[in-house]
Structure 1
Amino acid sequence: MKNVFKVSLLAVCIALTVGCNDKTETKVTTSKTATSESVASFATDQDKVAYAIGASFSRYVEGTLEKQAEFGMTLDKEMIIDGISDTLRGHAKLTDDEIMDTLQKYDETVKVAVTKKKAENKVKMAVEAKKFLDENAKVKGVTVTDSGLQYSVIKKADGPKPKLTDTVRVDYVGTLMDGTEFDNSIKRGQPAKFPLNRVIPGWT
Structure 2
Amino acid sequence: MKKMFALTLMSAAMLTGCMKGEQKADLSKEENKIFYSVGTMHGARFKTLEMSETEKVAFIAGIKDSLDGKPEQVNSQEYAMKFRELLTKRTEDMAKGNKDKGMKFLDSFVSSEQAQKTASGLAYKVLTAGSNDKPAAEDTVTVHYKGTLIDGTEFDSSYARNNPTSFPLNRVIKGWTEGLQLVGKGGKIKLVIPSELAYGDQGAPPKIPGGSTLIFEVELLDIQKAPAAKK
TM-score, structure 2 as length reference: 0.53
1:26-78 superposed Cα distances (whole Å, 9 cap, x missing partner): xxxxxx9754325xxxxxxxxxxxxx89xx69x76993886887177453978
Deviation at 1:171, TM superposition (A): 1.1
Give the conservation status (yes or no) of the 8 Å contact 1:141–1:153: no
Q: Match for 2:27 among 36, 39, 42?
A: 36
| Structure 2 counterpart of 1:147 | 120
Following TM superposition, the consecutive aligned residue runs of length 4 or more in structure 1 with deviations greater than 6 angstroms are: 64-69, 76-84
Computed over aligned residues only, the root mean square deviation of the Cα atoms, in angstroms, reads: 4.2
What fraction of aligned residue pairs are identical, expressed as a percent?
Answer: 28
Give the conservation status (yes or no) of the 8 Å contact 1:8–1:107: no
What are the ranges of 5 or more consecutive residues in structure 1 without an aligned counterpart? 1-6, 22-31, 39-51
Q: Indicate the structure (1 or 2) with the bigger Cα radius of gyration.
A: 1
CA distance in 1, matches of 2:134, 2:48: 48
| Structure 2 counterpart of 1:107 | 80
| CA spacing shift, 1:162–1:105, aligned 2, 3 Å | same
Give the conservation status (yes or no) of the 8 Å contact 1:137–1:150: yes
What secondary structure does 1:135 align onto? helix
What are the ranges of 5 or more consecutive residues in structure 2 without an aligned counterpart? 182-231
What secondary structure does 2:136 align onto? coil
Query: 1:13-24 maps to which residues of 2 (within 5 A)?
Result: 13=8, 18=16, 19=19
CA distance in 1, matches of 2:95, 2:151: 16
| CA spacing shift, 1:68–1:33, aligned 2, 3 Å | same
Aligned residues: 162
| Structure 1 counterpart of 2:58 | 75
What secondary structure does 2:116 align onto? strand
TM-score, structure 1 as length reference: 0.58
Give the conservation status (yes or no) of the 8 Å contact 1:20–1:78: no
Bigger RCO of structures 1 and 2 (CA < 8 A, at least 6 apart): 2
